[in-house]
Chains A and B, each alone.
Chain A
């Protein structure tokens, strides 16, 4: 693989393609090849892609309750009502 090939893609462009790349949404084989070629040549971009993966993994470790603001939680009153409905249904 030639250096020229990898350099046909700018780092600036690559960072905007990372998600499409990780999602497998780059269907044009030539385009995919260009990205691969660039990543093999370019350390900073490889680090960038690796850090996007790490970021995804870290977001994935957030507790589901903690991922959104408490302001968006159902009010206590409604949760109580739901819990009562759940208990009532159980006793049928």
Chain B
């Protein structure tokens, strides 16, 4: 492919609108002849990818896009030099580091470390165990037995999987064996218990179906208002932490289990599906309803605070 030297380095700026926020996307290098419409589309795809990866789209954040084309392939667009805001990925790295440190302490037979782990993980382990056995007492025994398994296995554990994955695998094995003994068939993935909430946002916040202009869109009074402070930055204020914690606790069982496993403990969706015996679709529905309710609790707090 022939290149025109003058075309080799073109810089184009897109102002990709994100509602009220605007993010600069700069194409820092584009191969000669890359048609504008293709690159514009690619910019949108990349921006959509950034958003799906849970990178926060912050005003003024600059994404540098590089447009290239491999022989015979369509133009592709890569992102360079994203200043990554603290988000799930930073969180994941911190979690991993914490887990390594925890494993080292366990291996060194630090009993305080063990006790911390038991306190931190047992509640959600109880919830998971409860999927397989018929009583709370039985679930408690399963968790206890799983921890004994962890104690015995620790010497031989080489850290090929994460401590978390290892512990929960022991847990589900114990729970399944116990469940079979109790003649309880493995988890029922029914949504029946949580099925009452078809809408996660109060329907009265949307215009009615016979609205002449925008049926189904937000009413002026119903629109979400921006939350004033940036709740993600830094440590949660005690008050908000209590609120979020209470909102999570108040969720129906299945939603709470999914939200706690996904968002507090950081399991991925596949892991959660196998721990709770739900389908990926059910997992997403439960996660969605749970998160939406916590969001609603926060909204209530922020709005009340500013009235």
Interface residues of A (CB under 8 A from B): 7, 10-13, 15-16, 18-25, 32, 36, 39-40, 42-48, 50-69, 72-75, 78-79, 81-83, 85-87, 89-90
Contact = CB atoms under 8 A, between A and B. Distances in A.
B81 interface: no
B180 interface: no
A73 B123 contact: yes
A44 B272 CA distance: 31
B287 interface: yes
Interface in B255-307: 256, 259-260, 263-266, 269, 280, 284, 287-288, 291-292, 294-295, 298-299
B111 interface: yes
B121 A79 contact: no
Contacts, number: 201
B123 A82 contact: no
Interface string B197-237: 00111010010000000111110000111110001100110
Cβ-closest 4 pairs across A and B:
A46-B19, A10-B216, A19-B288, A68-B123
A32 B223 CA distance: 23
A58 to B, nearest CB: 5
Contacts of A67: 123-124, 245, 248-249, 260, 264
Given A36-B48, A47-B225, A12 B245 contact: no
Contact of B88 (A16, A44, A60, A62): A60
Contact of B284 (A25, A36, A72, A83): A25
- Determine the main DSSP class of B at the interface with A: helix
Nearest to A9: B216
7 contacts: A43-B20, A47-B20, A54-B232, A56-B291, A62-B264, A79-B119, A89-B109
> Could you say which interface size class chain B belongs to?
35 or more
Contact of A10 (B121, B206, B269, B295): B206
A46 B121 CA distance: 35
Contact of A74 (B126, B231, B292): B126
Contact of A44 (B147, B218, B240, B280): B218
Nearest to B117: A64
A79 B112 CA distance: 12
A52 B265 contact: no
B113 to A, nearest CB: 10
Given A15-B201, A44-B218, A53-B54, A68 B114 contact: no
Given A47-B224, A61-B241, A22 B52 contact: yes
Most buried by B among A32, A63, A83: A83
A33 to B, nearest CB: 8
A12 B215 CA distance: 9
Given A12-B203, A81-B144, A85-B148, A39 B19 contact: yes
Contacts of B148: 82, 85
B212 to A, nearest CB: 14
B291 A19 contact: yes
Contacts of B232: 54, 57-58
A33 B88 CA distance: 24
B152 interface: yes
